[in-house]
Amino acid sequence: MVDVTALSAPAERFPRGPWTLAAAGACGCVLVALVDPTEHTLSPPCPLRAVTGWWCPLCGATRAASRLIRGDLDAALRFNLVFVVLLPVVAAMWAAVAFPGRLRWLDPLRRRWQSVVYGLVAVLTVFMVVRNLPGPDAWLRYPGA
């Protein structure tokens, strides 16, 4: 008889979900490194922007990622400030889920993943509302629209 638990152990040590997400992210990074999104359209128009006229929290994130890959932090912050600021939090959350029990200092983050996700959603919602407020201060607005 074959011990089925021995076959499934590696899948538990390294969950597939985070690695699939990392592969998709790496493909996206290669794409924005090869093709400049400020010169060529890489994605369809934002549905929220098309329906409501509001910039969503991720409007400008592709261009910000492109500028980060090219080492232009200032331009990346101008395209989407919150995306750039929250990227390390998302990376830490990914590492906590991808390496369960291996990075002990991230275990509290992994245990409270729902709170972290709710916090990220709250920050992105507030950012969306603030960046769409009328007024002369347009420093949070997406400059590419």
- Tens-digit pLDDT profile for residues 104-128: 888 888 888 889 889 999 999 999 9
Q: How many CA atoms lie within 13 A of 61 on its CB side?
A: 18
Residue 4: per-residue pLDDT: 45
Per-residue DSSP letter, 144? T
Per-residue pLDDT of 1-47, as tens digits, reads 545 444 444 445 667 888 888 888 888 888 888 888 878 887 788 89
> pTM for the complete prediction?
0.76
Higher pLDDT, 64 or 142: 64
CA dihedral 78, 133, 46, 48 (to 10 degrees): 160
At a CB cut-off of 8 Å and minimum separation 6, what does 68 contact?
A: 76, 84, 87
| Contact assessment for residue 100 and residue 15, using Cβ atoms and an 8 Å cutoff | yes
pLDDT band at residue 145 using 50, 70 and 90 as cut-offs: low
